[in-house]
A = this chain, B = another copy of it.
Amino acid sequence: MMQPVTAPRSLKEKQRQEREELILQAAEEVLTEKGYYDTSVDEIASRVGIAKGTVYLHFPSKEDLVIAILERNAQKLVDIVEATVASGSTNREKLESILLVVYSGFFDPRISHLMQLPYFVVNSSELRRVFVEKKGCMRDKWDRMEALIASILEDGKAAGEFDKTLPTPIMSSAFFSLLSPRSFERLNANEQIPLDEFVKQLGRFYFKGIAAV
């Protein structure tokens, strides 16, 4: 009662947070390596060095754990994209830097997961159902990113940089499609193109495609 509201509590709480973070990291790791079904709670726990049961003190189910990861990643992505956008001056620069950051992230494990993981995970009736139910969380963030891109595009149109006759949704949709690092992965497997060259040319193509006439 007289206790400081956050002191002893928050010590425990901090430890708790740290452990949860470790679980999330380990889970993300295994998940990316093996996909949803080949990831066992056992392996996650043993990578963290804790017991299986402890995982369940933090997340009510394997499913919830995975959802938590995806949500967190979605948030991270939004943050990165928003920060990136803020750093660009022109509308084109803003979009270019998003392109660059996402593709660079392909080799930066802290970022590459953000785009890759959903592909690895989404394929399960269980999880898909959740995505629909959790619209409030996951979907929200995705929508926010789309809105951000759309606003940049609209700004560009208003400024006469981008083609007014091309519907913004098409522009935005194309932009997202080009963002998937899978294209580059496949490309890179066959012909060795340096990443920055790839991104540069992709940008050239994209901005020519949406350029005002």
Residues of chain A having any CB pair with chain B under 8 Å: 33-38, 119-126, 143, 163, 166-167, 169-171, 173-174, 176-178, 180, 183-184, 186-187, 190-191, 193, 198, 201-202, 204-206, 208-211
Contact = CB atoms under 8 A, between A and B. Distances in A.
A167 B193 contact: yes
Nearest to A39: B125
Give the residue among A33, A176, A177, A190 with the most B Cβ atoms within 10 A.
Answer: A177
Mostly helix, strand, loop or mixed at chain A's interface? helix
A206 B208 CA distance: 9
Nearest to A38: B125
A123 B117 CA distance: 10
Contacts of A122: 123
Nearest to A197: B167
Contacts of A174: 178, 183, 202, 205-206
Contacts of A121: 123
B204 A206 contact: no
Contact of A177 (B119, B170, B177): B177
Contact of A205 (B171, B202, B204): B171
Contacts of A173: 183-184, 186-187, 202
Listed from nearest, the 7 A-B pairs whose CB atoms lie closest are A209-B209, A35-B123, A34-B125, A37-B37, A170-B201, A173-B183, A205-B209
A174 B126 CA distance: 32
Contacts of A37: 36-37, 124
Contacts of A124: 34-35, 37-38, 123
Given A35-B123, A209-B210, 9 more contacts: A38-B125, A119-B119, A163-B208, A170-B187, A170-B193, A170-B205, A177-B177, A206-B209, A208-B209
A137 to B, nearest CB: 17
Nearest to A213: B208
A2 to B, nearest CB: 31
